[in-house]
């Protein structure tokens, strides 16, 4: 993948298991694991998208520790990985920030569902434009988020019928498939 790649972890609007639109909580594991995947695969910026002020405070608290002297001594690699995180309240803010730096950024959403006209990994890896990859927490991104995208990526499929990966795993697999040598 040759273009600048951005990742957005969407906490709102997403579905819960009942199909209701909700806001999910920021989790320490997602923050750490996804930022490490992003650094590994040269993602330019990892946006955490959540409109709730107390959730922003939780993220700031996590990041504050990892900017301290003890964290730098304890695990400098983790400090480096977390340096690419940026908090935003909504998807529109992310798009605006990227468009201030990039021209013609494509918005690609992800889902575990099979839909019509989805982009496959090979097609996406051949695009030579900046890309914002949006991943949903909870039970996935809402239809409205998919409607705002330029493309929806085909789902990751395994060999069984079960198909509900953690978002941390999905991000790592997608980034690997898009950037690894074939």
pLDDT more than 90, % of the chain: 75
Hey, what CATH class is 5-179 in? alpha beta
Q: What is the pLDDT of residue 68?
A: 79
In the block, which residue shows the tokens 């639109």?
Answer: 21
Higher pLDDT, 157 or 151: 151
Domain boundaries along the sequence of the chain: 5-179
pLDDT band at residue 161, thresholds of 50, 70 and 90?
A: confident
pLDDT of 150 > 90? The answer is yes
Distance CA 16, CA 42 (A): 31
pLDDT more than 70, % of the chain: 97
Torsion region of 132: left, alpha or beta (phi above 0 gives left; psi -120 to 50 gives alpha): beta
Q: What is the pLDDT of residue 2?
A: 57
pLDDT tens digits, one per residue of 5-30:
999 999 999 999 999 999 999 999 99
> CB neighbours of 125 closer than 8 A, spacing ≥ 6?
1, 177, 178, 179
Least confident span in 64-73, 78-87, 141-150, 172-181: 64-73
Q: What is the pLDDT of residue 72?
A: 77
pLDDT band at residue 163, thresholds of 50, 70 and 90?
A: confident
Q: What is the pLDDT of residue 137?
A: 97
**For residue 37, which of 84, 75, 1 has the smallest C-alpha distance?**
84
pLDDT tens digits, one per residue of 67-112:
878 877 877 777 788 889 999 999 999 999 999 998 889 999 999 9
Average pLDDT, the chain: 92
Q: What is the pLDDT of residue 182?
A: 53
Helices (H), the chain: 28-40, 53-65, 69-74, 76-82, 91-101, 121-125, 143-148, 167-179
Q: What is the pLDDT of residue 1?
A: 54
């Amino acid at each position: 993948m040759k273009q600048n790649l951005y990742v957005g972890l969407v906490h709102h609007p997403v579905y819960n298991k009942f199909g209701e639109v909700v806001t999910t909580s920021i989790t320490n594991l997602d923050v750490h694991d996804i930022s490490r995947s992003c650094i590994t695969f040269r993602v330019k910026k990892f946006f955490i998208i959540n409109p709730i002020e107390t959730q922003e405070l939780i993220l700031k608290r996590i990041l504050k520790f990892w900017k301290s002297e003890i964290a730098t001594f304890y695990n400098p690699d983790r400090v480096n990985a977390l340096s690419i995180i940026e908090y935003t309240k909504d998807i529109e803010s992310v798009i605006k920030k990227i468009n201030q730096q990039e021209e013609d950024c494509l918005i690609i959403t992800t889902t575990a569902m099979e839909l019509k006209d989805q982009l496959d990994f090979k097609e996406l890896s051949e695009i030579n434009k900046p890309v914002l990859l949006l991943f949903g927490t909870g039970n996935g991104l809402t239809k409205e988020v998919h409607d705002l995208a330029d493309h929806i990526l085909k789902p990751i499929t395994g060999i069984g019928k079960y198909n509900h990966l953690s978002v941390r795993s999905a991000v790592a697999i997608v980034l690997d498939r898009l950037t690894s040598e074939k």
